[in-house]
Structure 1
Amino acid sequence: MLDSLSHLALEVKYLDRACDFYTTYLDLPVEREDERELVFRVGGTDLILRRPTSVPRGGLHTHYAFSTSPEEYDDWLARLEELDPDEHTFGSSRSLYIDDPDDHCVEIGEVDDSGTGLTGIFEVVLEVADLDRAEAFYTDLGFELTDRGSDRRRVRLVGPMDLELWEPQLGLADAHGGAHVDLGFDAADPERAVDPVRDRVCAVESLANGVRILDPDGHYLTVR
């Protein structure tokens, strides 16, 4: 069973430009960096910005969502006004959407009142070629179906975070599902956690303290 989201890696062209955006607009301090990648810590998750120099690469045009408190949401809306955020309401909760310099669609949603600033990553969207196949794969990893699109081919699953699977399309704020996304998860027993899908992965690699698999749509899942 997958317990929590440990990392999300995004592909960027220029680390200095990406660093300026995430530190200036989103107030994220750099946790560590080298010539290939930058790492920010958001709640319990590492947000990794990575140049495409080896595999696993970071995701392309990935739509993902930060959580913040309802009390701070309006402050974020005002702070990001110059980026012309696209805003949507879901029931009693609001979300704003902006694009970073590498075409990742960044959402900030008022879904968490447990802290200040950006408190975590609560959603990631993956692009998939076959929705039924992808849904079966991720439900076998322990995610549960919560919503199925009626107007377009997408499903929403809940697990260590909310996971949306989209067949190729544009969603709210013209967001894409991510291509070749690199996700990391914590698990008490990594090998056992991936056993239900081991016969369907495109590749599997044993790591010193875990296992990495490649799903049928080219997304990497590292479980430690």
Structure 2
Amino acid sequence: MLTGLSWLALEVKYLERAREFYGETLSMELRSHGERELVFAAGETDFVCRRPSEFPRGGVHTHYAFSIPAAEYDDWWARLGEEYDLEEAQFGSAKSLYLYDPDGHCVELGQRDVEGPGIDGIFEVVLEVEDLERSEAFYASLGFEKVDAGNGRERVRMTGPMDLELWEPHLGIADARGGVHVDLGFETSEPTAALEAVSDDVRRVDHVADERVVVRDPDGHFLTFTTN
């Protein structure tokens, strides 16, 4: 049903500070900029940094993961380790490093089978939710499949256009937290079909058109289903 992640939007206080971190420290291409937001390239996905002036605001203290070529990992560690107190985790044969941006978002750079060079996609987003079973059922209706769950039912991992982690409030690796009021855009051939799949469970429907539907999930996260 959902074929790709079109964008992830985060809330930042100061655009220039975000531009320096993502554009210079993480060497991401700036696709567009305005008075309210910056749009960077994360592979084919738009990575949006947005000032809190209207809805949707973008996510607060969101944990998310960028894909980098496996062979570049040691270079990224050496480069970022000069300025940041990095943490590392191993997942099978793949490694990830963690650091924080100026607005408290926990940024993961993980080894993936991507071409690069540099950041080439977003492979994980973490949302904070109140009721795991409710949120798991909601995202299953959109085609996400459960692949893992944490001890004590404090988190559920699902896979779809990217990996989606649903967390009850807690601290994860590198003291990361799930994001609140996160703004996600998903590609789909039939936006209205995606709406029909979750229409009984959305908190609110903000916009409906043949090529674009905007809803809020049960925890207030903004989801846009778009053909663009």
> Do they superpose with TM above 0.5?
yes
What letter matches 2:21 in structure 1? F
Cα offset for 1:110? 0.4
**What is the TM-score normalised by the length of structure 1?**
0.97
CA contact (8 A) 1:112 1:119 kept: no
Question: Percent same amino acid among aligned pairs?
Answer: 58
Q: 1:24 to 1:117 in 2, by over 3 A?
A: same
Q: Check whether the contact 1:17–1:101 (CA below 8 A) recurs between aligned residues.
A: yes
**Displacement after TM superposition at 1:23 (Å):** 1.3
Aligned to 1:9: 9
TM-score under structure 2 normalisation?
0.96
> Contact between 2:214 and 2:223, CA under 8 Å: does it hold in 1?
yes
**1:152 Cα deviation from its structure 2 partner:** 5.2
Alpha-carbon distance, 1:91 to partner:
1.1
For residue 211 of structure 1, the aligned residue among 206, 210, 213 is 213
Q: 1:31: which partner in 2? A: 31
C-alpha displacement at 1:22, in angstroms? 0.7
- Kept in 2, the 8 Å contact 1:85–1:98? The answer is yes
Taking the aligned partners of 1:148 and 1:16, their CA distance within structure 2 comes to 38
Q: Could you tell me which residue of structure 1 aligns to residue 224 of structure 2?
A: 222
Q: How far apart in 2 are the matches of 1:201 and 1:151?
A: 26
* Amino acid paired to 1:130: D
The answer for the alignment partner of 2:59 in structure 1 is: 59
The equivalent residue for 1:142 is 143
User: Counterpart in 1 of 2:41?
Assistant: 41
The answer to whether the 8 A contact 1:65-1:122 is kept is yes
Q: How does 1:1-224 map to 2 (within 5 A)?
A: 1-81=1-81, 82-151=83-152, 153-204=154-205, 205-207=207-209, 209-224=211-226
SS at match of 1:103: coil
Q: Which runs of 5+ in 1 are unaligned?
A: none
**2 CA distance for matches of 1:86 and 1:72?**
17
Which whole-Å CA distance do the structure 1 matches of 2:49 and 2:137 have between them?
Answer: 29
TM superposition shift of 1:104: 0.3
Secondary structure of 1:83 counterpart:
coil
Counterpart of 2:110, as a letter, is: G
Cα distance in 2 for residues equivalent to 1:22 and 1:59 = 16
Cα deviation, residue 44, structure 1 = 1.1
Report how many residues are paired: 224
CA RMSD after TM alignment = 1.1
Take 1:208 and 1:147, find their aligned partners in 2: how far apart are those partners?
A: 34
Moved more, 89-98 or 148-157: 148-157
The alpha-carbon deviation at position 208 of structure 1 amounts to: 6.8
Instruction: For 2:25 and 2:113, locate their aligned partners in 1 and report how far apart those are by CA, in whole Å.
Output: 20
- Please tell me whether the aligned partners of residues 192 and 209 of structure 2 are also in contact (alpha carbons under 8 angstroms): no
